[in-house]
Amino acid sequence: MSHKDMHKRRDVLAAAGAGTLTALAGCSSILGGGGGGGSGGQLRFLGFGGNTQKAQMGVFDGWDSETSVKGTSAGGTTEMISLIKQNPGSFDVVALNDTGMARAQKEDVLDPIDLSKVPNYEKNIKESARSLSFNMNGEDTMGLIRENGATGYAYNTDKINKNLDSWDAVLDPAYEGKVSLIDRTIDRLSNSATAAGMNINEVPGNQSKTDKMFQRAKKENQNVFAYWGDGATSIRYLRQENAWICEAWGGRVLALQNEGYDNIEYVMPKEGAMGWADNLAVVKGSESREKAHELLNHTYKRENLLTLSDKMNYTVQVKNPPKKMKQLPDYAPAEDLAFRDWNTVLPKQEAWTQRLDKIKQN
Residue 96, helix vs strand vs coil: strand
Q: Which CATH class is domain 3-14+149-274+345-361?
A: alpha beta
Q: Give 270-306 pLDDT, tens digit per residue.
A: 998 877 899 999 999 999 999 999 999 999 999 999 9
Establish how many alpha carbons lie within 13 A of residue 186's alpha carbon, considering only the half-sphere containing its beta carbon. 26
* CA 15-3-266 angle, 5° bins: 35
Which sign, positive or negative, has the C-alpha torsion 160, 162, 168, 173? negative
The DSSP code for 330 is T
The pLDDT score that the predictor gives to residue 76 is: 80
Q: Which residues pair with 265 in a beta bridge?
A: 155
Find all residues with CB under 8 Å of 6, minimum gap 6, and list them.
254, 327, 328, 329
Q: Give 103-148 pLDDT, tens digit per residue.
A: 999 999 999 999 999 999 999 999 999 999 999 999 999 999 999 9
Judged against a pLDDT cut of 60, whether residue 337 lies above it is answered with: yes
CA distance 280 to 156: 34
> How many angstroms separate the Cα of 320 from the Cα of each of 149, 182, 194?
18, 33, 30
**Residue range(s) in the chain whose domain bears CATH number 3.40.190.10:** 3-14+149-274+345-361, 19-148+276-331
* pTM for the structure as a whole: 0.82
Q: Give 197-229 pLDDT, tens digit per residue.
A: 999 999 999 999 999 999 999 999 999 999 998
Q: Give 236-272 pLDDT, tens digit per residue.
A: 999 999 999 999 998 899 999 999 999 999 999 999 8
How confident is the model over 336-356, as a mean pLDDT?
90
| Amino acid letter, 6 | M
Residue 191, helix vs strand vs coil: helix
CATH architecture of 19-148+276-331: 3-Layer(aba) Sandwich (3.40)
